[in-house]
């Protein structure tokens, strides 16, 4: 009986620990449905988040690339560099991709290390 009791306690602890370690695919200050709907940054929702992104971008560090894919949707552009590093670009402001006159957009740039963890997040002007 002692062995069964220890096994049950161990099982409960393991289940509880695994639940705590799971990342929810959610960023509380971004309405993900509106973000995904504004895919190219043409509707203005993403642009309205620029001040918040500048303040809180470091909260998004150490997240896996799958977290961003599920939460923010498909990136507008993805590039790959040496040693398996990956960069996601999400367009934030209207530009050439929205048939606007100016060519560049403000983008949320997320750089991932080779294992897929975000290591650098910043806003910059990018060519769509």
Please give, one letter per residue, the 3-state secondary structure of the chain.
CHHHHHHHHHHHHHHHHHHHHCCCCCCCCCCHHHHHHCCCCCCCHHHHCHHHHHHHHHHHCCCEHHHHHHHHCCCCEEEECHHHCEEEEEECCCCHHHCCCCCCEEEEEEEECCCCEEEEEEEEEECC
- 19: pLDDT strictly greater than 70: no
pLDDT at 78: 96
Domain ranges, residue 35 = 25-126
pTM of the model: 0.78
pLDDT greater than 80 at residue 104: yes
The fraction of the chain above a pLDDT of 70, given in percent, is 79
**Whether pLDDT at 127 is above 90:** no
CATH number at residue 91: 3.30.1450.10
Give the model's pLDDT for residue 12. Answer: 59
Asked if the structure places residue 106 within a domain, the reply is yes
Report in angstroms the alpha-carbon separations of 52 from 39, 61, 116.
Answer: 18, 15, 24
pLDDT band for position 17 (cuts 50, 70, 90): very low
What pLDDT score does 20 carry?
40
- 5 within a domain of the structure (yes/no): no
Domain total of the chain: 1
How confident is residue 82, by pLDDT bands cut at 50, 70 and 90? confident
Residue 7 falls inside a structural domain = no
């Amino acid at each position: 009986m002692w062995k069964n009791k220890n096994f049950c306690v161990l099982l409960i602890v393991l289940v509880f620990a695994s639940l705590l370690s799971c990342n929810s695919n959610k960023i509380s200050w971004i309405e993900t449905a509106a973000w995904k709907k504004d895919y190219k940054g043409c509707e203005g929702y993403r642009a309205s988040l620029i001040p918040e992104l500048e303040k809180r971008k470091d909260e998004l560090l150490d997240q896996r690339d799958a977290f961003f894919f599920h939460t923010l949707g498909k990136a507008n552009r993805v590039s790959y560099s040496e040693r398996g590093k990956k960069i996601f670009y999400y367009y934030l402001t209207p530009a050439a991709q929205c048939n606007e006159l100016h060519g560049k957009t403000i983008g949320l740039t997320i750089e991932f290390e080779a294992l897929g963890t975000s290591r650098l997040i910043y806003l910059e002007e990018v060519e769509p």
